[in-house]
Chain A
């Protein structure tokens, strides 16, 4: 028999809109995110990239100022998790280096980094070990385990590994012939990529060996790079956005620039969700306060 008890039960079971908003099934949020990221990839919005950041301009200016024949050290310390962000930056910087006639030396402290060096060399230089200038203008040292000790040993003696990643003897390469000290101080610029940390290249290459260093780093660790900017580093690229900015600066928009629309909508959707959640939270707090009084 329906009575007052039933009516009270009904109102207790009925959640308010605010409560429902705060307890939404996460699967709806995943679906919204999926749609918001996929749509602009299929149907680009054409949002302008906007102002190029000073960090990106700093790195671009520093690399642009290097004369022809300068040795640029690329520490491609990234795995698949960071490659989506840092590979476009790596390729954009390599294109710039190629234009300026710089000599390139590659290294990685992570086993999965080697295929990304290969991919970048194939995409930008056209070939890796089979390139006619490999051994003269380009060298791929490959993987050295133990990031800090391994790199320190390599920096003190560039022939530490004896051979490059393909097994070619380093001492017989023309790349190293005219180097005065055969240590890291012979490098003219160093760039680190990946999601490990940025300060390692300042600590182990820039400060001890006097090499100016920058980064094409994942956005997740970019916040750590700001204490070193601009006194210790001329600049760095922040994730996919930094790669897009660099592509615009070298006049070759590519992979990174194409992903910015999706990035924009994804960020906007997360911000809107955070704001909705906070508004619902504040309103329910106010309602709870009013009910108590």
Chain B
């Protein structure tokens, strides 16, 4: 491993430990790491966006289709977000991006997420699919009932709510799994990626100093 690669790994380990120090309490190292991450992440995203836009425009400009430069002009209109008098110019690129996004997602979404899901729900072939159909109907009733459900309708609303609670519970359980996997990845990096493991004793010493200083501050 070259010196530069070692430096990068050490820097990454330092970032990881600085951010993990938040578990003790908020501190300057955490804030510096957080701000460094925010700045570079935004810059990285901006660079990739610029690179992608250039790649898409280049073939058109090489063919002499200079009308595509209009997209650059429209993109620059975003800067008028910060203007007072000419703020309305910001609405043009926003209208284009928002409208194409909504148009493309709505037409396809209606088929996949509404019509096909309704069709699949009505295909009752066994107990499981029957239970799913019951759950979907009760859940939709719970969502859209505008009057207070009374009598048997209250039971329908309750059953719908239970199915929704089960969906939330599954989401939470799987979310815990997701976050645990992330911390496993980070701890693995710290333990097994040389020379990241050299930062661990440094971090432990700094934590102990921090704990001692906090303890001294609390003493009368």
Q: Give Cα A84–Cα B187 distance, bound, in whole angstroms.
A: 11
CB contact between A239 and one of B47, B120, B167, B177 (< 8 Å): that residue: B177
On chain B, the residues within 8 Å of A191 by CB distance are none
User: A41 to B187, Cβ gap below 8 A?
Assistant: yes
User: A41 to B191, Cβ gap below 8 A?
Assistant: yes
User: B177 to A267, Cβ gap below 8 A?
Assistant: yes
User: A267 to B112, Cβ gap below 8 A?
Assistant: no
User: B53 to A219, Cβ gap below 8 A?
Assistant: no
On chain B, the residues within 8 Å of A160 by CB distance are 56
Q: Give Cα A267–Cα B170 distance, bound, in whole angstroms.
A: 14
Write out, one digit per residue, whether chain B residues 21-34 have a CB within 8 A of any chain A CB (1) or not (0): 00110000000000
Given A149-B100, A259-B181, A208-B108 contact (CB < 8 Å): yes
Q: Give Cα A38–Cα B111 distance, bound, in whole angstroms.
A: 46
User: A114 to B113, Cβ gap below 8 A?
Assistant: no
Interface size on A, residues (CB 8 A): 54
Q: Give Cα A149–Cα B98 distance, bound, in whole angstroms.
A: 10
A54 CB-CB contact with B under 8 Å? no
**Complex A-B, nearest 3 residue pairs according to Cβ-Cβ distance, in ascending order:** A84-B185, A162-B59, A111-B48
Judged by DSSP, the binding face of A is helix
Within A57-108, the residues touching B (CB, 8 Å) are 81, 83-85
Identify 13 residue pairs between A and B in the complex whose beta-carbon atoms are under 8 Å apart, listed by A's number. Answer: A33-B183, A42-B191, A84-B182, A84-B186, A112-B45, A143-B51, A149-B97, A162-B58, A203-B108, A220-B174, A238-B174, A266-B180, A267-B176
CB contact between B184 and one of A42, A145, A227, A240 (< 8 Å): that residue: A240
Closest Cβ of chain B to A86, distance in Å, is: 9
On chain A, the residues within 8 Å of B151 by CB distance are none
A132 CB-CB contact with B under 8 Å? no
Residues of B within 8 A of A (CB): 23-24, 41, 44-45, 47-49, 51-53, 55-56, 58-60, 97, 100-101, 104-105, 108-109, 111-113, 116-117, 120, 167, 170-171, 174-188, 191-192
Closest Cβ of chain B to A108, distance in Å, is: 9
Residues of A within 8 A of B (CB): 27, 30, 33-34, 37-38, 41-42, 81, 83-85, 111-112, 114, 142-146, 148-149, 152, 159-163, 167, 195, 199, 202-204, 207-208, 218-220, 222-223, 227, 231-232, 238-241, 259, 262-263, 266-267, 270
CB contact between A219 and one of B56, B177, B184 (< 8 Å): that residue: B177
Closest residue of chain B to A171 (Cβ to Cβ) is: B59
